[in-house]
Structure 1
């Protein structure tokens, strides 16, 4: 007699709190995993950028040089450089090992909301409240950007780079995708100011969050709406959204102190993660594991799935 095969387990979600880190840098404006997920960056309202070990929760280095609060940061593919942006209108390139400023890039007319390296770390892209995206050559000593994209009619709130494509979200409610290789621009209109954008891991879809408390998953090539995700609160803050590392779930910060996690295909709410009593300001999903960083006020929390949290406690015991 043949027994039915057991149903495969669904993908696990990060719902066990492994660690809380007090960053001691005022409210944390953004938290970001590095490219391999072994380190994370915290951007502080006290003008500092800090590098931490994920597994130990220890501070490795503090980077000071901005004149106002740091709003976003990114690490290069080889972990040798960092870039950060600030309300002081500047973008800074840092040497990770020495902690020194290698370049200070000025040219934006207002605060810089978002920054990211391209895959080879040869270019840094920055988006500002002045409505422009500026592309900076990291190897040149020139102070001028190599390209300025000024199609937006309002503040650039978020940008993501994947291979030869750039995705930007804007307060004018438009999702713009630039094919930098072909010199083409594709625009999708979303009726509400956009706070965060990202590509899916397979590169076929775009995800955007907006101030009507809705996340939208679009087919990248056609602009067709594939899914809408609701239930969280996002009405006055610029909050992060992301996809899990295997594109199984859609996640969003919320103003009610939770992270909401939906099944990507079904659109059903899979997890409502209670982080605390304040706004969940920022989050970052691990590039390969089921781990999540969240930022609330001056603290960063590291979340994992149940199996990983058991392993962690066994390692701690030994």
Structure 2
């Protein structure tokens, strides 16, 4: 049992910092939580028993941080600290970083094992103090902000007025929308939208229970329709991913726009355009994830609308 203490304490270590994210001491979308914590997570087994990582196969060096990362995310998922979407976002940095750090540490330890068990308490304090201190310092620096615009176009065999009338209150798409790999990874599909002409607000329903409050901000009949998401009035409690992304303003949609072009009396070209910005201290990862997820969302929604309208 003792040989697994490194994994157990690594899982508890990561869960402690996930709790700090929950009470808003640390930010989910930060260098600290996505990079620094996995680095120190990999250090814990070496702190407890460095010699065993030199004497045994390199497989142990890889499996310990890999197992600890997966178990941490699994426990967080079971206790609803994370949903499948945020779990998938966290898995790559935690696994890759912790395994790489573990391999580097094995090389360092193999050169010279100079281990004093009395230093555990001091080292443990260091492991806790550095990420907490770094996380609080990080909050004083503005996150890098990047703006993006993603759009896709589809041709629908229907008059422009018919297409237009299906954009305010989008019909139920449950049987029309296709699943993609992102759905199996926990990201939801849109189901339908209900429009209230009195408030000029559309409610967008997703299959995971999320409801987005979308205010109409621009309307040019048969030509252009734009929405702005009101995060405060949206219902995001069913998705940790949506809460992380929207409530902390890690991703902000400036507008979601439909553009229509009449091709002839029975055909319409429909473009869906998402104008958004991401705020993150890990820009390369945030950009990669947001672009792929939004592109997938637009593609499925346009195809589902086409299928539904042409029925």
Same topology, TM > 0.5 = no
Measured against the shorter chain, the TM-score band is: under 0.3
Q: Which has the higher strand share?
A: 1
* TM-score of the aligned structures, taking structure 2 as reference length: 0.21
